[in-house]
Structure 1
Amino acid sequence: MDGQDEVSAREQHFHSQVRETTICFLLFAVLYVASYFIITRYKRKSDEHEDEDAVVNRISLFLSTFTLAVSAGAVLLLPLSIVSNEVLLSFPQSYYIQWLNGSLIHGLWNLASLFSNLCLFVLMPFAFFFLESEGFAGLKKILEDLDEQMYMITLEEEALQRRLNGLSPSVECDLLDLEQELQNVKTLKAKLERRRKASAWERNLVYPAVMVLLLFETAMSVLLVACNVLCLLVDETAMPQGSRGPGIGHASLSAFGFVGAALEIILIFYLMVSSVVGFYSLRFFGDFIPKKDDTTMTKIIGNCVSILVLSSALPVMSRTLGITRFDLLGDFGRFNWLGNFYIVLSYNLLFAIVTTLCLVRKFTSAVREELLKALGLRKLRLSSAPREPDSAKPSANGHQKAL
């Protein structure tokens, strides 16, 4: 019986490993495909003409896509873990979610940590230097492009010279050109009208909703950080160290259950978006923003590295600020400074103060006026000067009106 039990345990462990590997592979494949479409949307299309250029750009493209997929996985670590914990609590005996267990979640955290370090210290430096080493081979392509542009400019110059010499097209062609220009003006006018209507809709509906959502998320973030500061002062278990809890699916992370977990996920994504927007808003990185169909591979590599750094820091930042109570797993919870009370407390206080100042500075009177106007609440404000009652107004013959 002991031998059969041992064989059965080994078979279960084998099937569990195969299932977890398959799930991780499918999840990464979806992220890789999505990352590939995102990068090709911004990548410059004219970078692949010569054979040697195509090979180098293709290798750099695959490495950048891999890095962006790893970044997306790091962003989804906490939301997937929080959702998994709540689902296991809601359906503890369900047969269809037996694959969702603590071993799978720990494996995802370990893979995200491993691949993040691999991309940051190995793959991306290799892609950058490999792309730069191809620069001399691409000089031939640059010269050919210059020759082609000079040829086109010469043709245009000859056409203009012929028109100046009286060899312009006939009157009928001029009329056709005039009709074509008129049609272009009508088309442009129709596009501008549609754009004006869309702008009005965005101003009246989308802008107020986005403003209210941003204000709510910012206020909630400050409130949770303030509560975390109080917890740090009175309870040492609030420190963002490694896994110390009972595990996945044993206790809810929020007193409000699934609603609180959903709020935590929203705030985690808000932190990521605000970090990316703040990064690209810096003066030094203003020209670093990718442009559709006009971004070089060097800029794509730099953007992938920047997003990887921000996404890898997201789980640690969310746990340190008290946005979530989910324990850090894998290598994410093994940083020495996570156990330093003064560093963690200073980080929370700095975040709360800076975010509050930013909220006060951005939510000015002009923004409030615009928001009230968009919400249709501007007419509800009381006038600063009270109206004089009708009984106090003098009549035409000098007497007051009777009540």
Structure 2
Amino acid sequence: MYDVDEPDEREELFYNNVREKIIFLLLFVLLLTLSYIIVNKYRKRDNIVVSIRDEDDYTVYKYSLLLCTISLAVSVGAALLLPISIASNEVLSLYPSSYYVQWLNHSLIHGLWSLVFLFSNLSLFIFLPFAYLFNESEGFPGHRKGLKARVYETCTVLLLLAIFVLVLTYLLYTIFYAEQSIFYMLFNLWNNYLPFLYSCISFIGVLMLLLCTPVGFATLFTILSRFMIKPQLQKTTDEEISVLRLEVDCLTRRLDQVSQNNGSSYMSPQPMLAKKEQKMSLPERELWSLTNGKLKNGLADKLLNFQERLDVLEKQRKTSVFRKLFFFPTFMLLLLALTVITVLLVVQNLLLILIGIRALPLNTRQFTLGVSSLSKLGPFGAGLEIVIILYMLVASTVGLYSLPVVSRYRPRIKQTPLTHIVGNCTLLLILSSALPLLCRILGVTDFDLLADYGRIEWLGNFAIVALYNVVFASAATLCLINKFTLAVRKELLSRLKSFWQWVIGRDCSIPRDNSIFSIDNSPMINKKTS
């Protein structure tokens, strides 16, 4: 009987391994295709001519772009680790004996986490540095120029950089683990140095997410209001359209007058804004003082700006009432609800950790996939967790490119050079690799971190986890309050300033920025003055 069962177990193990490798290959090909489409859409068309002289440059460019594509695919896979794992756990808990989901098991998900962890290290420490150095290399001085010389230079510089990073990691490791012997640290490079180095990088990524995610929460509202049509009163829209049409007609006549004057071009007659000259903005004041071709170009740009605003208002007026009154409030309330739910989950997680009901996110127990649902609300709660994780991913990416320094390197369609592509892939890889850690620290999900993600030891530090929850909840709340009260505070400060100027006798005008009615323009005062 033993001889009959033994081949069946080996055969089943063989089929399971083959099936897992095929699934991993299909996922990698899918992510690689998606990443190639994204990189090809944003990369700058350098128009490299393939010839004998430029063949090396084209080869270097091609392989560097391939390494960036692989790294971007790994970053997308790292960002989707938690959603895929949570969905797999719910499917297995709902249909434990179904024939169609037998391939979805704990071994498959655990292997996926291990592969993503491995390729994240390879992309972060080998692929992306090699792509950047390979693109910037020219070969050692005094040697024959060519592809081999550039490969030798890249490998040499990369080796020196790796030695520097390992020495720096060794110093940090001796600071945190001073009780271990030197021989133990030297002969356990793979088991100690590399996980410790990745934990340092992941800690930097978590700190970046702490800065980017709350900023992204507030920035998403601005982006939504920019692309969605706001509900406006028809009367207000008609008034704005009338004012813009008058501005367009006035600028058109001025532009025609400037175009008709040969030789010197200037404003004749002068605009009737002499008494308002001190209240005009600097660009507008400079526009009326220009002459010749600069005046014509300035008027044309201003006319184009007014025409674009007029087109937007015309589009808003022609839009259906249902779209104006339903889509914008719905999406705005959806973003607000997701943000509020995220903050409430963070506050709840902090309270449970302080009380001692919830353990720290360090993986200390054996987890088996599909035993039970990890959410108290069942499949609905798991779906909500997936939506919140994806929302945090989008918010962190938007917040990253809203920062002052990073915004200058934001990828643009068909205008992004290769060096910027390498930098953006590095930032996205760091953020996406730290996203599972962020979700476990904030308590968004109870799904344990698998593979080497659960070996990151600073996740078991109570002070770091508690402080991170406090800072994240406070930052997200302040960003929301600042976003929704900014206009009110600006109007309040403007009115207080106008009242103070009226008290000290400097200004008696009504505090409206765009108002043309004031005491200075009153006909009775002008008559008495004359």
TM-score (norm 1): 0.74
Matches within 5 A, 1:82-93: 82-93=86-97
Matches within 5 A, 1:159-170: none
> Partners in 2 of 1:56 and 1:38 — Cα distance?
20
> Partners in 2 of 1:236 and 1:223 — Cα distance?
17
Give 2:65's aligned residue: 61
* Code of the aligned partner of 1:78: L
Which of 315, 331, 335 is equivalent to 1:197?
A: 315
Q: CA 1:364–1:60 in structure 2 vs 1: closer, same or farther (change >3 Å)?
A: same
Which of 231, 242, 253 is equivalent to 2:352?
A: 231
* Code of the aligned partner of 1:222: V
Give 1:9's aligned residue: 9
Q: CA 1:86–1:197 in structure 2 vs 1: closer, same or farther (change >3 Å)?
A: same
Identity %: 49
| C-alpha deviation, 1:281, in angstroms | 1.1
Q: CA 1:60–1:198 in structure 2 vs 1: closer, same or farther (change >3 Å)?
A: farther
Give 1:289's aligned residue: 410
> Partners in 2 of 1:367 and 1:13 — Cα distance?
66
SS of residue matched to 1:46: coil
| C-alpha deviation, 1:216, in angstroms | 1.0
1:305 is the counterpart of 2:309: no
| C-alpha deviation, 1:117, in angstroms | 0.5
Give 1:131's aligned residue: 135
Give 2:237's aligned residue: none
> Partners in 2 of 1:87 and 1:228 — Cα distance?
26
Give 2:251's aligned residue: none
Give 2:302's aligned residue: none
Which of 439, 462, 469 is equivalent to 1:348?
A: 469
Cα deviation, 1:350-374, whole Å, max 9, x if unaligned, reads: 1111111111111127489xxxxxx
> Partners in 2 of 1:205 and 1:48 — Cα distance?
49
| C-alpha deviation, 1:51, in angstroms | 2.1
| C-alpha deviation, 1:47, in angstroms | 4.6
C-alpha contact (below 8 Å) 1:47/1:54 kept by paired residues: no
| C-alpha deviation, 1:243, in angstroms | 5.8
* Code of the aligned partner of 1:209: T
Q: CA 1:31–1:121 in structure 2 vs 1: closer, same or farther (change >3 Å)?
A: same
Q: CA 1:196–1:346 in structure 2 vs 1: closer, same or farther (change >3 Å)?
A: same
Gaps of 5+ in 1: 139-188, 369-403
| C-alpha deviation, 1:277, in angstroms | 1.3
* Code of the aligned partner of 1:319: R
Give 2:179's aligned residue: none
* Code of the aligned partner of 1:352: A
C-alpha contact (below 8 Å) 2:124/2:429 kept by paired residues: yes
Cα deviation, 1:308-341, whole Å, max 9, x if unaligned, reads: 0000000011011001110010111111111111
1:110 is the counterpart of 2:114: yes
C-alpha contact (below 8 Å) 1:109/1:330 kept by paired residues: yes
Which of 209, 217, 221 is equivalent to 2:338?
A: 217
> Partners in 2 of 1:104 and 1:243 — Cα distance?
21
| C-alpha deviation, 1:2, in angstroms | 1.6
C-alpha contact (below 8 Å) 2:353/2:359 kept by paired residues: yes
SS of residue matched to 1:364: helix
C-alpha contact (below 8 Å) 1:35/1:68 kept by paired residues: yes
> Partners in 2 of 1:215 and 1:247 — Cα distance?
35
> Partners in 2 of 1:41 and 1:89 — Cα distance?
40
> Partners in 2 of 1:228 and 1:106 — Cα distance?
26
SS of residue matched to 2:443: coil
| C-alpha deviation, 1:279, in angstroms | 1.2
| C-alpha deviation, 1:264, in angstroms | 0.4
Between 1:110-119 and 1:268-277, the stretch displaced more is: 268-277
Which of 230, 244, 257 is equivalent to 2:365?
A: 244
> Partners in 1 of 2:390 and 2:318 — Cα distance?
28
Gaps of 5+ in 2: 147-306, 490-530
Which of 448, 452, 457 is equivalent to 1:327?
A: 448
> Partners in 2 of 1:304 and 1:365 — Cα distance?
34
C-alpha contact (below 8 Å) 1:53/1:134 kept by paired residues: no
SS of residue matched to 2:429: helix
1:259 is the counterpart of 2:380: yes
Give 2:400's aligned residue: 279
Q: CA RMSD in A?
A: 2.6
C-alpha contact (below 8 Å) 1:47/1:53 kept by paired residues: no
C-alpha contact (below 8 Å) 2:345/2:443 kept by paired residues: yes
| C-alpha deviation, 1:239, in angstroms | 0.9
TM-score (norm 2): 0.57
C-alpha contact (below 8 Å) 2:367/2:448 kept by paired residues: no
* Code of the aligned partner of 2:436: P
Which of 73, 79, 82 is equivalent to 1:75?
A: 79
